[in-house]
């Protein structure tokens, strides 16, 4: 799960989570508005599905290069070899999928994966339990990845 502020409303937050049950797969978000219930908040939209395949539970968020918007990054988790990764743009108009890229090492259900970023947000690391590390250069303005190196031990 990852939480990012709504760029258009200081009281609202997007809560992104992976659907990992046998009933619901995919990437979902809900919107929480803290202006309700004396600041305790209220869920004003719940479980909006923006992706319907199985994804890694290691989703992450990086601030956009403009300093206002956000990128939420998710990757598939499948029984077939895949290497797709998608950055979703969160701006004042809502949530939008950027182009899905097929980049980095082809992997399958090889253990838990995590997406982590460096302090500047311009490098994203895909790390798995079996020793795989991919480092992507990430353009925080366009949401585009470029592979820089990978290690598989």
Whether 34 contacts 43, CB under 8 Å: no
Q: What share of the chain is helix, strand, coil (3-state, %, to 5)?
A: 0, 60, 35
Identify the pLDDT of residue 3: 97
Identify the pLDDT of residue 23: 65
Q: Which helix (H) or strand (E) holds 7?
A: none
d(CA 124, CA 146): 10
**Domain ranges across the chain:** 2-151
Token pair belonging to 86: 């998608």
Mean pLDDT by 10 residues, the chain (153 residues): 96 90 79 96 95 81 96 80 86 92 72 78 82 87 84 57
Identify the pLDDT of residue 82: 72
Identify the pLDDT of residue 134: 84
- Contacts of residue 10, defined as CB under 8 A and 6 or more positions apart, other chains included, come to none
Between 3.40.47.10, 2.60.40.10, 2.130.10.10, 3.30.70.980, what CATH number should domain 2-151 receive?
Answer: 2.130.10.10
Identify the pLDDT of residue 127: 80
């Amino acid at each position: 799960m990852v939480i990012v502020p709504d760029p258009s409303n200081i009281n609202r937050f997007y809560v992104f989570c992976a659907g990992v049950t046998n009933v619901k797969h995919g990437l979902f978000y809900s919107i929480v508005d803290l202006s309700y219930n004396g600041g305790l908040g209220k869920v004003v939209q719940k479980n909006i599905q923006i992706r319907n395949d199985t994804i890694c539970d290691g989703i992450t968020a990086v601030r956009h290069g403009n300093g206002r918007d956000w990128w939420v990054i998710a990757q598939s988790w499948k029984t077939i070899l895949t290497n797709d990764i998608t950055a979703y743009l969160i701006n004042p108009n809502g949530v939008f999928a950027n182009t899905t890229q097929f980049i980095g090492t082809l992997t399958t259900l090889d253990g838990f994966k995590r997406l982590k970023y460096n302090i500047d947000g311009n490098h994203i690391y895909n790390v798995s339990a079996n020793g795989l590390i991919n480092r992507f250069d990430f353009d925080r303005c366009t949401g585009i990845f470029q592979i820089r190196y990978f290690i598989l031990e």
